[in-house]
């Protein structure tokens, strides 16, 4: 069993707890995620907003996207570490940055997306589910997670 899923920013002004495991975990290798993190990829855990208990206030920044869909990043106003995103202005759904968990290795990615721009020196395991761009939700998400998603997004 996983113990409490707590996390936060670097200065601890923002702390949070996830009340459930994420429904699904993306490892995104797109060039925007690479730029926004200054790294090779980002790991996002998709979870219902109402399953996150947050202490501290967050500041929101809107980011450009290739698709033109909104991408709002929520950060600690003091240290500016990003703790989660809202893709597509869906208030009930958050993309938590898994590496901000106190135990950041708790969740491995369910899928790797936008691997067309994966850095060449990152080797993914043979068992990884890899998509050049995106994937079909209905095919990849477990039934239980699809039900959770339906409950918030219809
Ligand atoms: Zn902070
Ligand atoms: Zn991305």
Report how far ligand 2's centroid is from the alpha carbon of 33 (Å).
Answer: 4
Pick the CATH number of 5-153 from 3.30.420.40, 3.30.70.3340, 3.90.1590.10, 3.10.250.10: 3.90.1590.10
- Please give the Cα distance from 104 to 90 (Å, whole number): 25
- pLDDT by residue for the chain (154 residues), tens only, comes to 558 999 999 999 999 999 999 999 999 999 999 999 999 999 999 999 999 999 999 999 998 787 788 999 999 999 999 999 999 999 999 999 999 999 999 999 999 999 999 999 999 999 999 999 999 999 999 999 999 999 999 9
Residue 24 neighbours by CB under 8 Å, 6+ apart:
45, 46, 110, 111, 140, 141, 142, 145
Report how far ligand 1's centroid is from the alpha carbon of 15 (Å).
Answer: 9
Instruction: State the pLDDT at residue 1.
Output: 52
Ligand nearest to the CA of 80: 1
Query: Shortest CA distance to 2 belongs to which of 16, 19, 26, 27?
Result: 19
Report how far ligand 2's centroid is from the alpha carbon of 48 (Å).
Answer: 19
Ligand nearest to the CA of 34: 2
Report how far ligand 1's centroid is from the alpha carbon of 10 (Å).
Answer: 5
Ligand nearest to the CA of 97: 2
Show me where the domains of the chain are located: 5-153
């Amino acid at each position: 069993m996983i113990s409490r899923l707590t996390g936060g920013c670097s200065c601890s002004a923002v702390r949070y707890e996830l009340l459930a495991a994420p429904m699904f975990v993306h490892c995104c290798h797109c060039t925007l995620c690479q730029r926004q993190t200054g790294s090779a990829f980002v790991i996002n855990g998709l979870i219902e907003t109402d399953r996150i208990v947050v202490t501290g206030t967050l500041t929101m920044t809107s980011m450009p996207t290739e698709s033109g869909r909104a991408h709002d990043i929520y950060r600690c106003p003091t240290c500016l570490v990003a703790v989660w995103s809202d893709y597509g202005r869906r208030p009930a759904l958050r993309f938590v940055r898994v590496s901000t968990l106190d135990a950041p290795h708790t969740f491995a990615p369910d899928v790797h997306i936008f691997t067309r721009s994966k850095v060449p020196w990152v080797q993914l395991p043979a068992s990884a589910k890899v998509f050049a761009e995106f994937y079909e939700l209905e095919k990849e998400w477990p039934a239980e997670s699809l039900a959770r998603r339906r409950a918030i997004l219809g």
